[in-house]
């Protein structure tokens, strides 16, 4: 029976030439046993997971013939449901692991499929590689994945880095579980927690007020303030030095009171807690960090916990977090949205001249466009010189994105090409119906465009505009087509559709001449013009978001007003992101 090699938890990342570094994914450790006769998924405790994750088995079967001469294989990995390409959602894995009904499992495998992040190869052609140095096992594993040729969508190769700093930045942006450091020459030791592998958790540090102690299980209870009332935060047991724990318990017994088996105490002591998450009155992997005698209990609030869980960059100073930017949505709410959506939004902003629409005092007050770098911008805001001696703004990192948000940038618009090329990296058809009442015309036009462009060999994805329309994006290989060529193509596509449905669609720019028809805008596709970035908010009272969609969602039931700053983050958790699914970020 396979017993996985386990990493040792440490606070300090080992450095030096003998180490390599990988993302630590948040899921279920698993082994993939793959023979000519059988494909089997095994948990770290030896449980057979094969029937619970049919999408993994199907992916293996899809490429079975390509690797038949490499069998039997045994791969070590992590079974995860991804939010971003680098962050797993442990709660979704827990939900999935509890499913037993075959129909429910089949549905889940289609709507929110799991993947196996493969990081080690223990057997190939029936021969054990456990005594082979890790770095050679990784190379052999990469060779196996080369045979897949990208066809096994639910099997992912875990790449490694020699420079831990590059990985730390990725872990911070995506809020991954942590980093694994592995000794290059280490052999695989079954079932041992070894110093040849180390895990470094990406802990969030939250603050809570001690509210009690349970002698039965030795947990310390914590609370925080929410609108002047204390609510439960969770419990912590581990991480205390013996004398620290005893001192705290004695303080609770001296100053508190016993209620049956539970000791209760009024707010007086605050703690820093390391954790991976805190929600629904539970703290995930809570570990005591330190006492906070400098912190008054009333300062321990739900807002403070939210900020800590978000891991906002230190260089960004949050000002006036209570200011209302959208109805019932504060600046803090907006910045927390940007932080959560950053792994999806940032890749669409990087290396593109940015046009911001700023609403410093919210959507009901004055706004202005900003394209050029202001004098007061901090040094981490990048820019690029223009021919007129001005500097265009770039958004190259998380700190920049949040700094813009803190200054009231509610809309992020980008051009169709990067700073490295004069040619477009995408085509975008902007579909503008006469009103929301005729949104069905946008749905119809989007599918017609999809059919035409995909018939010509292009891929496409669709998103809401954040207002009343849809936008069909057609990604391009850099430097393959010019703006003249793409615009001619887009014009032809529009004309084909209009000739077929002249009463529904038009390319007439003037609204008064459109005669209640949907406007197919390809004129906007030109150098210097811009389009709203995927996952940018729009300055609407509903706080709508320009949201990428799965094509099957684009139907008569689609309501673009339902995609807002409050619904989109949970939507990604529940359904995933179409851009991730299509490897567009």
- Which residues have a catalytic role annotated? 24
For CA atoms 566, 568, 569, 573, the dihedral sign is: positive
Residue positions counted in the chain = 585
Per the listing, tokens 């000794």 go with 183
DSSP 168: H
Cis peptide before 72 (omega within 30 of 0): yes
For CA atoms 319, 392, 565, 24, the dihedral sign is: negative
The burial class, CB within 10 Å (0-12 / 13-18 / 19+), for 422 is exposed
Alpha carbon separation from 439 to 281, 301, 469, 499, 537 (Å, rounded): 41, 43, 7, 20, 20
Q: E strand or H helix at 487, and its extent?
A: helix 483-500
CB 32 within 8 A of CB 118: yes
Residue 311 — left, alpha, or beta (φ > 0 → left; ψ -120 to 50 → alpha)? left
User: For residue 291, what are its two tokens?
Assistant: 């006492």
Count other C-beta atoms under 10 Å from residue 396's C-beta. 17
User: Rounded to whole angstroms, how far apart are CA atoms 490 and 288?
Assistant: 59
CB 437 within 8 A of CB 504: no
CB 138 within 8 A of CB 158: no
DSSP 533: P
SS3 state at 123: strand
SS3 state at 269: coil
User: Rounded to whole angstroms, how far apart are CA atoms 76 and 309?
Assistant: 30
CB 539 within 8 A of CB 517: no
Residue 86 — left, alpha, or beta (φ > 0 → left; ψ -120 to 50 → alpha)? alpha
User: For residue 140, what are its two tokens?
Assistant: 């052999």
User: For residue 7, what are its two tokens?
Assistant: 């990493």
User: Rounded to whole angstroms, how far apart are CA atoms 172 and 166?
Assistant: 10
């Amino acid at each position: 029976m396979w017993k996985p090699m386990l990493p040792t938890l440490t606070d300090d990342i080992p450095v030096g030439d003998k180490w390599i570094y990988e993302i630590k994914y948040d899921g279920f450790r698993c082994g993939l046993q793959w023979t000519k006769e059988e494909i089997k998924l095994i948990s770290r405790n030896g449980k057979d997971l094969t029937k619970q994750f049919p999408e993994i088995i199907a992916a293996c079967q899809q490429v079975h013939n390509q690797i038949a001469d490499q069998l039997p294989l045994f791969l070590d990995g992590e079974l995860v449901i991804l939010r971003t390409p680098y962050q797993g959602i442990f709660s979704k894995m827990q939900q999935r692991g509890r499913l037993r009904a075959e129909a429910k499992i089949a549905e889940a495998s289609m709507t929110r499929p799991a993947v196996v992040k493969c990081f080690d190869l223990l057997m190939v052609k029936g021969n054990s590689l456990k005594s082979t140095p890790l770095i050679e096992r990784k190379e052999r594993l990469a060779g196996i994945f080369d045979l897949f040729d990208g066809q096994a969508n639910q099997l992912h190769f875990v790449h490694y880095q020699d420079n831990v700093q590059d990985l730390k930045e990725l872990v911070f942006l995506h809020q991954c579980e942590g980093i694994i450091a592995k000794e290059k020459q280490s052999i695989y030791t079954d079932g041992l927690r070894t110093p040849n592998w180390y895990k470094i958790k990406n802990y969030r540090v939250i603050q809570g007020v001690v509210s009690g102690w349970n002698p039965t299980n030795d947990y310390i209870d914590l609370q925080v303030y929410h609108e002047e009332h204390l609510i439960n935060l969770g419990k912590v047991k581990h991480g205390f030095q013996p004398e620290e724990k005893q001192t705290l318990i004695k303080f609770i017994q001296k100053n508190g009171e016993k209620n049956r088996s539970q000791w209760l105490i009024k707010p007086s002591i605050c703690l820093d807690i390391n954790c991976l998450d805190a929600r629904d009155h539970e703290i995930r992997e809570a570990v005591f960090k330190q006492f906070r005698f400098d912190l008054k209990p009333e300062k321990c609030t739900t807002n403070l916990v939210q900020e800590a869980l978000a891991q906002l960059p230190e260089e960004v100073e949050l000002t006036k977090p209570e200011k209302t930017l959208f109805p019932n949505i504060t600046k803090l709410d907006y910045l927390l949205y940007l932080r959560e959506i950053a792994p999806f939004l940032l890749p669409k902003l990087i290396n593109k001249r940015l046009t911001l629409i700023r609403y410093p005092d919210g959507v009901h007050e004055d706004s202005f466009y900003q394209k050029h770098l202001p004098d007061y911008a901090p040094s981490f805001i990048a820019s690029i010189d223009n021919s007129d001696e001005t500097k265009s703004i770039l958004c190259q990192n998380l700190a920049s994105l949040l700094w813009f948000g803190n200054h009231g940038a509610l809309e992020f618009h980008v051009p169709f090409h990067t700073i490295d090329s004069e040619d477009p990296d995408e085509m975008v058809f902007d579909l503008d119906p006469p009103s929301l009442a005729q949104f069905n015309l946008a749905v119809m036009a989007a599918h017609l465009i999809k059919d035409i462009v995909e018939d010509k060999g292009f891929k496409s994805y669709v998103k809401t505009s954040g207002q009343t329309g849809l936008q069909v994006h057609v990604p391009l290989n850099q430097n393959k087509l010019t703006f003249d060529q793409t615009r001619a193509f887009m014009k032809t596509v529009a004309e084909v559709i209009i000739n077929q449905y002249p009463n529904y669609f038009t390319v007439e720019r003037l609204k008064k001449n459109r005669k209640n028809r949907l406007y197919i805008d390809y004129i906007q596709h030109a150098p210097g013009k811009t389009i709203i970035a995927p996952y940018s908010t729009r300055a609407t009272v509903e706080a709508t978001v320009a949201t990428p969609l799965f094509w099957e969602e684009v139907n008569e039931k689609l309501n673009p007003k339902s995609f807002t700053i409050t619904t989109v983050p949970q939507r990604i958790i529940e359904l995933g992101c179409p851009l991730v699914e299509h490897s567009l970020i």
